[in-house]
Amino acid sequence: MSAPGSLAAFVDGIGVLGPGLSDWPAAARVLRGETPWQCAATVLPPPQCLPAAERRRTGMPVRLALAVGLEATSRAGADPAALPAVFASSGGDGVNCHEICQVLASEERQLSPTRFHNSVHNAAAGYWGIATGATAASNALCAYDASFAAGLLEALVQLRAERTPVLLIAYDTGYPEPLRRTRPIPDAFGAALLLSPAPSRTSLAGVSVAMGDGPADRLADGGLESLRRAIPAARVLPLLGQLASEKPGRVAIEHLDATALVVEVSACR
Amino acid sequence: MSPLAITACTVTSAIGRGLAATLESLRDARGGLVRCTFETVVLDTWVGEVPGVDATAVPKPLADEYDCRNNRLAWLGLTADGFAEAVERSAARHGRRRVGVFLGTSTSGILETELAYRRRDPESGALPEDFRYRGAHNTFSLAAFARRALRLEGPAVVISSACSSSAKTFASAQRAIAAGVIDAALVGGVDSLCLTTLYGFHSLQLVSRTPCRPFDAAREGISIGEAAAFALIERAPSSLDADAVLLLGCGESSDAYHMSSPPPDGRGARRAMELALEGAELSAAAIDYINFHGTGTASNDAAEARAVAEVLGREIPGSSTKGATGHTLGAAGALEAVICALAVRHGLMPAGINTTQVDPTLPVRYLLKNRSVPLRRVMTNSFGFGGSNCSLILGRAT
């Protein structure tokens, strides 16, 4: 038996997409304070990697997950088809859920088959497989506001068990009214980390994770801090900030209740 | 993988609340499907509804945050067979932070939201004031509820990969125990009837108008059911009871093919079964019985039959217990894992009920009658939308 502290990996690639954050290099510049963060609606690219018929059927969470996942793998020069993947989302596709509940509250109850199969929490994992040809295990997790931390934990445990790189994709999209009042997620944010058991020339940093007590780290920038709090997947931002700094350090990421995942970041270069 | 002991388990479905009632139904080859009268649903179909869910009271103060039909069913399950007490003993032994919660569900408490949408404010469109998204609807609600109800403090997560969800909780928990993150895990799943799945599967033309008949030549789709099934898994002690059932292997794969149908050659299913055998360090010949995913749709059963024949051979005795319980979606993997534990413990290969004429084009040895025979190792398959596959192997230590 090993201590939980031995959950460790190297970060080989990062993908980011969110309000005012168009990709990882842009996000890194903002997180380093080189450019100010400007709130702007997240722009989701259509998933060119899917056949046209499938592309039309995808909702925002699928487009977001595919975009950040492919950014992380392409930056690392990794073949996505060869990777197991962990998908973490705090609640799935709010727009699709709204449409389904509206139809079910109507007289006709004529549900669209596409809406129904897109309603599964693992829709992004399914489309990811179709887009990339990845046949390894995928997982689709939810832990409400702690979903990023739960995904990171699952990815590191899987990496340790299989001794293979694992792709972690955390993503959330905005909820429409009337759901938004009960779950006020304003916009889309996604981040992907390609985690590897061994260092390589593409490794950006090492991370090791332990469960800890105490509050999660906040961000100094007020705008980014409000983003971190507003969208569950953006709870990753303190870790991305540490990675952007290219310096060793320790960050606490929000986990369940009052606990945190403590991530020790070590420099690779 | 190192085998893990299943130190407690429980199951509640349309064929009974608790292990004894479930075993009795299996022995009597008695099913639980009834003509659908659920809520206001108007569909010509049969369902595996658990009696008494609506009348179940989640205790205060948990109810204030978590009351919903799915968590009522979870509570029915957790309080059967002395299961909650077994979890409590495990928490006392290992520490509350050392017991993880890994539960599967596909729709969690979405029924609450479906009903709330009928009560929207006609002016503003707002949902009613008493609607609670977090505790009732959200996918994580099930694990949050169980963790709170059992006063556990370890890591917790819901796995939601459609119909493979709760099978995959065994795999994730097994890895977390092997990594030393936790010492024990509550695994399993709960899914409950709701309009999304009843009308959704209907829209895909996958719902049977008769009680579902997996592997039958005349099968025409699924019957939707609901269930709560839980297991407590821990490192196997050096000396085990003769009755002990172990989790021996887990295999997971993705189809990378289509959102709602498997590749006809069943290659994803085949890979999951092969990985489970590899993990258990067993040959195909070591498996005595297979509990098929066996939903009763034409394409699913055909692809699975082909995959099973390729991995385990055409002579492996098997059945789908979905004819009895209905397809309990995100709970099916755990429900059928617990049925497999009963099968091993009591030497029973349960019949696949409702099926009368096994499809002659399927290369399977499908059991139409119960067989009483000592069982050492059994496999159970779970495959979900999005091409998510999981196979588990359970068995005795020796």
Tell me the DSSP string of A198-254. S--TT--EEEEEEEE-SPPP--SSHHHHHHHHHSGGGGGHHHHHHHHHTS-EEEEEE
Give residue A2's pLDDT.
38
Into how many domains does chain A fold? 1
Task: Count the helices and strands in chain A (H runs, E runs).
Answer: 10, 8
Instruction: State the architecture of B4-395 in CATH terms.
Output: 3-Layer(aba) Sandwich (3.40)
Round to whole Å and give the CA distance between A111 and A123: 17
Q: Residue A177: its chain B contacts at CB < 8 A?
A: 125-126
Interface probe for B, chosen from A49, A89, A106, A182 (most Cβ of B below 10 Å), is A182
Q: CATH number of the domain that A145 lies in?
A: 3.40.47.10
Closest by Cβ to A101, choosing from B114, B161, B200: B114
Give residue B10's pLDDT.
98
Confidence check on the interface: ipTM exceeds 0.90, yes or no: yes
Closest CA to B77 of B172, B165, B146: B146
CB-CB under 8 Å, B157 with A143: yes
Q: Is residue A111 part of a domain?
A: yes
Q: Residue B254: its chain A contacts at CB < 8 A?
A: 125-126, 129, 134-138
Round to whole Å and give the CA distance between B368 and B358: 8
Q: DSSP assignment, residue B129?
A: T
Interface probe for B, chosen from A103, A128, A135 (most Cβ of B below 10 Å), is A135
DSSP string, B250-288: EEEEE--S-SSS--TT-HHHHHHHHHHHHHHT--GGG--
Closest by Cβ to A112, choosing from B140, B203, B385: B203
Window from A45-59, A248-262, B22-36 with minimum mean pLDDT? A45-59
Amino acid at A244: A
Q: Residue A91: its chain B contacts at CB < 8 A?
A: 138-140
Chain A residue with minimum CA distance to B167: A139
Give residue A4's pLDDT.
41
Domain that holds residue A121: 10-202
Q: Mean pLDDT, to the nearest integer, of A94-102?
A: 97
Q: Is residue A98 part of a domain?
A: yes
Residue A134 in tokens: 């990845």
DSSP string, B287-348: --EEE----S-HHHHHHHHHHHHHHH-TT-EEE-THHHH-B-GGGHHHHHHHHHHHHHHHTE
Give residue B236's pLDDT.
87
Give residue A54's pLDDT.
85
CB-CB under 8 Å, A117 with B259: yes
Chain A residue with minimum CA distance to B178: A1
Neighbour-count burial of B130, counting CB atoms closer than 10 A to its CB (0-12 exposed, 13-18 middle, 19+ buried): exposed
Residue B336 in tokens: 């059928």
Neighbour-count burial of A45, counting CB atoms closer than 10 A to its CB (0-12 exposed, 13-18 middle, 19+ buried): exposed
Cis peptide before B59 (omega within 30 of 0): no
Is A156 in a helix, a strand, or coil?
helix
Give residue A53's pLDDT.
85
**For residue A238, what are the CA distances in angstroms to A225, A250, B53?**
9, 10, 43
Window from A5-9, A242-246, B11-15, B184-188 with minimum mean pLDDT? A5-9
If you search the block for the tokens 């509050």, which residue do you land on?
A: A215
**For residue B278, what are the CA distances in angstroms to B62, B172, B380?**
42, 17, 15
Contact B293, B383 (CB under 8 A): yes
Q: How many CB pairs under 8 A join A and B?
A: 212
What are the residue ranges in chain B where pLDDT is below 70? none
A77: closest CA of chain B, how far (Å): 21
Give residue A269's pLDDT.
59
Give residue A150's pLDDT.
98
Residues of B with a known catalytic role: 163, 293, 327
Contact B125, A178 (CB under 8 A): yes
- pLDDT of A3 > 80? The answer is no
- pLDDT of A1 > 80? The answer is no
Beta bridge partners of B226: none
Give residue B370's pLDDT.
98
Q: Is residue A246 part of a domain?
A: no
A10-29 pLDDT, tens digit each = 999 999 999 999 999 999 99
